[in-house]
Each structure stands twice: as C-alpha cells, then as structure tokens.
Amino acid sequence: MGPSREWIVDAFSCPASRIAGETGREALTGLFANVIRSAGLTPVGNVVWAVLPPTGAVTGMVALVESHLTCHSDPAHGVLSLNLLSTRGDITPDFEGLLTRYVGAERVNVRVLERGVEPAPSGREAQLAS
C-alpha cells in the first residue's frame, strides 16, 4: 500500500433526534451511502451498525477496498465524529454539505492527514542524519 489520505471529521450542534436511535441509524446509513457513492469507493461488505443504550448513540463502520469509513455519535452533546481512510487521495468528499443535509450539523470541522508518507527530517533528526 502506498500513501493514503485520512479525513477526521467532527460535526457539531447536530439535533439529538438526527444522530440517535433508529432514526439516527437511518440518517447515517444515507450519509454512508452518499459518501461511498460520491467518492467512487467500493464496500467490501455491509455496514455494521450498533445503537448503544442508554443514550442511543450510533456507531457504524464499513470496510472498503480502499480502507474504511467509520462514525460514532454523541447525542447528549450533539456531536458526530466520522473517519474515512482511503488509499485514493484524489477524492474530495463534501463532508460539510453531507453532514448538514443528513444530520443537521451547524458546524463541521474537517482535518486531512497524509498517511504513509515519511516526513522530512527536522530539528534534531536532521542533525543526527548528517
């Protein structure tokens, strides 16, 4: 496997009714399907979902040919955390638009990491290498 890209996404101020229980699971099923379809990713199997008592938090994950997509909701705080790791760095999922549409997020924070890329030496590492 070569370099990969990882999206670490947090959606804030989501109504609890949109990220909890069976209603939340249904919304997140639509979200996952749209992320996978729009990015041209390939599921290895079905999404595995769990609705967790007593809060109704929803956890989901699906293995992809390109790696994985996961999420976990925190209805008490209105937060949904999502993670996509893909060996395809050429995709640009519209997480802000999708999370607004599917779970009513008022604010979305997206961080992108390049994985499998060795950083250039800096500081002490550079001194040791010379």
Q: Which domains does the chain have, with CATH numbers?
A: 4-129 (3.60.90.10)
pLDDT at residue 81 in the model? 98
Is 99 within 8 Å of 45 (Cβ atoms)? no
Residue type, 58: V
pLDDT at residue 114 in the model? 87
Q: What is the pLDDT along the chain (130 residues), one digit of tens a residue?
A: 567 999 999 999 999 999 999 999 999 999 999 999 999 999 999 999 999 999 999 999 999 999 999 999 999 999 999 999 999 878 999 999 999 999 999 999 999 998 877 777 776 655 665 5
- Peptide bond between residue 75 and the one before it cis (omega within 30 degrees of 0): no
Q: Name the pTM for this structure.
A: 0.86
